[in-house]
Every structure is written in C-alpha cells, then in structure tokens.
Amino acid sequence: MHEIDSAAHAPQAANFQRAVAGGAPAIVTKRAGGEAATRAARRQAQAHAPRPRRFAANAIWEEYPFASTVEGGRGATLTLSPGSIKSSHGAALKNFYRDAGVDVGDQFLVRVR
C-alpha cells in the first residue's frame, strides 16, 4: 500500500481524493516500460492541459492515477503542484516501489494518511 502523506504532499493527497471521488481506482497496477512509458503516459494525461508555468514559475502538473501505472495517462485527474513537492512525492513513490518490491504488473492500494 502506498500512502500519500497529506501533510508533506497536500496537492497529491487532494488530487487523489478528487480522482477517486470521480471514479478513478484506488488500486492501480505498476506499468511496464520504465521511464519512457511513464513519460509517454504523463504526456497523454497532460495533452489538453495548459502549460503549468502559466500559473506559477515552479508549478508542475500532478496526475492520478500515476503515470507510472497502467491506469495512468489519458483521462487522469490533474492538479498543479509546486515542483519541490511533486519531486518529493515522486521520490516517495519510487521508494515505495523499491522497498515494497512492487514489480511490473503488481497491483497496489493507494490511500491518504
């Protein structure tokens, strides 16, 4: 289970809750294809979104379901996040994959704490 820390990653926690309330799954599957597939899914998710820097100098789009999951990509729920918080959550997700031994095709639950 990947827990989004609502104190440290408030934009990601709020975006997850909004996405799940809108029908996105709380159980997702790690995507095959590594970083290239994740980047492609992220581009799909953000294809029709305005450039984030239009809103703030260090703004970055955050998506749920995550681009690193099969469910991520086109149709993901987006929110703006400061770059430092987005990077911190990205590192937390990568650490979760490593520490929990999540491999391609493995499903895991996401929740907010």
Tokens of 103: 């491999």
User: What's the confidence (pLDDT) of residue 40?
Assistant: 97
User: What is the spatial distance between Cα 72 and Cα 106, in angstroms, rounded to a whole number?
Assistant: 14
Q: Containing H/E element for 11?
A: helix 10-21
The pLDDT value recorded for residue 51 is: 85
Lookup result for tokens 């970083």: 35
Is the overall model pTM greater than 0.85, yes or no? yes
Q: Please report the pLDDT score of residue 54 as a whole number.
A: 75
Q: What is the pLDDT along the chain (113 residues), one digit of tens a residue?
A: 999 999 999 999 999 999 999 999 999 999 999 999 999 999 999 999 998 777 788 899 999 999 999 999 999 999 999 988 989 999 999 999 999 999 999 999 999 99
Residues 6+ apart with CB under 8 A from 49: 61, 78
Tokens 């749920």, residue located = 64
